[in-house]
Every structure is written in structure tokens, then in C-alpha cells.
Amino acid sequence: MGKFTRNSIKRNGKLHQNAYRQEPDEVRLYAVSESASEAIHGSGLLVRVDGAAAKLRQTIYPAHEVALEPGRLDPRLVAFHDFDPRAIGPYNRLVISLISAAASRKLQRVLIASAEYGDGRTSVTLNLAAALARAGQRVLVVESDFLRPSALRLLGLDTETGLAEAIAKGLAPSKAMMWLQPIGFNLLPTRAQAENSAELLASPIFEVMMQMLRPEFDFILFDSAPLLAVADASLLELHTDATLLVIRQGRTSTSQMAKAVALLNEERLLGAVLNRVVT
């Protein structure tokens, strides 16, 4: 862990200011006025519902630190270990591609999508986050699959407050965030199935949360529910810069792929990850 000071915290070799500053318990509800939306978006200002202007100054850190137990990790989380260079090699190459692409274009928030359940989307997301963290990047995984969340299960973890509860109660993101050690990336988990996923993702609270988080990380990965299961990915595209599509060899059919791609903005499709390749 990095060195803590009164007003700063060092994570992954990068300094975060005012980490110990008192953090409000609630995220206020904001709405951007139509006439000022362009200027506000560029300045970071938000217009509150009552008409008063305010800056978004809440501190994200410190998140709740959690120690991962190797024996409880799902064996598919290969990037959490150094046991098999052949297994983690593809993720390291994907990290290089992402960092290179981010140097030449706006690429911070990446939607990780798949056609159906069973394609390995969540394990790919977590492995990619671990590989990015190992490369010194500040990483956050937002588990935005409210239909069948699985990140906590794969990591062998549990929590009392997840993303859905934070949105519903207007809590600051750090109330639900987990800083996973020793791998060193952050997770905003979903605890259990939520029936009102579209309502949560379209909530002004979620919008404010994402704006609060953006300056704190190099990459934010959104683990989405499958494209052919619900329409949540369309809402998440509003918060992301690009999409990676996870395809499982021998499982995802050509017709499923065609239907899934048709639901995405193809101009923002960064590429595809072929998962569980048999060699």
C-alpha cells in the first residue's frame, strides 16, 4: 500500500488529494438546465434542482479496503496470479492496446458487453481490471449487471452496500466501493438482482456518481447485462467511450452476434474478445 498523509493518498503510484477530507453522506440530486448544459458539461458545474449552481466537490476516497483470499477466487480469474503466462498473456496484450488507444483518443470508460449469459463477460472484465492495475493504471469496475450480478461471487466476497443501494439512497460512491488488495483495483459491486435496472441506470444520481468518479481513474470498466437479455447496455453507452464485445468460442452463434452488434453503436465498438479459446 502507498504512503498515507493527512491530505493525500498514493495508489498505484499516483497521488490522490484530500483523501481524508470529510465526505458528505449523500449525493445531492442535480439536473442540468437545457440552456446551460454545454457550458456546464465543459466546466464541471452542475445546476441543482432548486436552481442553485454548485461544483461537484465530493471526495471519492477512501474506499473500503478488502483483502482477497486466493483460495476463494474463481479459477477463471487467471490475471490475479502469475502461475500461467500463456493465460494472462492475452490480457496483457489487451492492456497495451487500451493504453495505446487512450493516448490518441478519448478512451477511459469502457463498456464490456456480451450477447448472452455464459460468455464469460464478468471474468473477462475482472481479469482485464487486474491486468490494468498490474500495469500501474487506476482502475474501477462498475458492476452494472443488475439482472444476474456475479463479480462478488467470482471474487469470494460479500458486502452490505452495493451500487443499487447507493443509487437508491443517494450515497456517495465510496460507501459502496471496494479497494481490492493486493491486486489494487476498485470495484463498485452489485449485491443482488434488482428489478428496476433501467430506472437505476437512468437515475440522475447515477449520472452524478459517474461524473464524480471520472477524474479519479485512468480506466472505468462497466460490466453490462447481456445485450440480448435486457436493454441496459443502451443506457450504459451514454456513460462510456467505447465497447468491447466478449464472444465465447463454440457458444455464441453467428445470429446472436449479429443481433448483439445491431444493438450497439458500431462507431464506438472497440473490438471483440474471444473467450475460452481451445488451443
Residues 104-123: pLDDT tens digits? Answer: 888 999 999 888 888 889 99
d(CA 74, CA 76): 5
Q: Helix %, strand %, coil % for the chain, to 5?
A: 35, 25, 40
pLDDT band at residue 26 under the 50/70/90 scheme: very low
Share of the chain above pLDDT 90, in %: 39
DSSP state of 116: S
Q: With contact defined as beta carbons under 8 Å apart, do 122 and 151 qualify?
A: yes
List the single range of 28-42, 175-189, 251-265 with lowest mean pLDDT: 28-42
Q: Write down the residue that cell numbers 448544459 correspond to.
A: 37
Domain map of the chain by residue range? 62-275
Q: What is the amino acid identity at position 126?
A: L
State the architecture of 62-275 in CATH terms. 3-Layer(aba) Sandwich (3.40)
Greater confidence (186 vs 48) lies with 186
- Beta partners for 53? 47
- pTM for the model: 0.77
CA-nearest of 31, 1, 32, 6 to 19 is 6
Residue 151 has pLDDT above 80, yes or no: yes
What are the residues whose beta carbons fall under 8 Å from the beta carbon of 173, sequence distance 6 or more? 27, 60, 166, 188, 209, 212, 213
